[in-house]
Amino acid sequence: MAKVSGPLFSIEARGKIGNAVVHFPWKGRYCVRRWLIPSNPRDIDQRIVRQKMACIGKPISKILTASELPSDGSAIYEGIKNATPTAQIWNAYFTKTFMDFAKNELNFTTLRYDFTSSTYTANWDAVAAQLGLSDLTGDMYATTIESGLQLFAAAYAAFALNLSTGRVDYSTYPSNWDDADITDFGSDITSNT
């Protein structure tokens, strides 16, 4: 990227000239670069990454924060916030915890298998529906990600962080949870009592 002073014989220039160059300010300097059409790859590798990010991102959007509840945030929010290292953001840390595990395709496949073979798959789906999660489908994703699997992924991240809220033993892998644990996890996402 070229840095210019007095672009186009003026003090500043902004915008595109034809389909050749773009002038724009950046960090207080006026710059010129070649005009590019942004790419949005839809190859299988990119769709796999998108599905994993959405798989954990959708449940995170349901976690009620301190600004949404009269006192503190939900039990899960408080647990994640307390587990998050200083100078990091709670939702990014929660996502990173899951993605560190799920970046290995075998781990993600195992997680999906553990969810589908669970005795309580129907309850995972029911609690996910109560939270307003829906299946992720479409050409942006490599496969369909069921709403229950999204909740299961959030439960895995809570397990990996060994969160403690008083209702559910988050030191236990989610496929070992029973109906009451799954229901309590849903309650921990939306309330602090």
pLDDT at residue 28, as a whole number:
80
- Is the dihedral angle over the CA atoms 146, 122, 177, 151 positive or is it negative? positive
Residues 57 and 152 in one domain: yes
pLDDT in tens, 120-174: 999 999 999 999 999 998 877 888 899 999 999 999 999 999 998 777 778 999 9
Residues 110 and 22 in one domain: no
Q: Which helix (H) or strand (E) holds 15?
A: strand 15-17
Mean pLDDT for all residues in the chain: 87
The number of domains in the chain is 2
Residues 161 and 104 in one domain: yes
Residues of the chain with pLDDT under 70: 1-11, 66, 70, 193
Residues 25 and 95 in one domain: no
The residue segments making up the domain with residue 133 are 44-190
pLDDT at residue 8, as a whole number:
59
pLDDT at residue 4, as a whole number:
57
Residues 16 and 48 in one domain: no
pLDDT at residue 7, as a whole number:
58
Residues 25 and 57 in one domain: no
Any domain includes 39:
no
d(CA 82, CA 76): 10
Residues 182 and 105 in one domain: yes
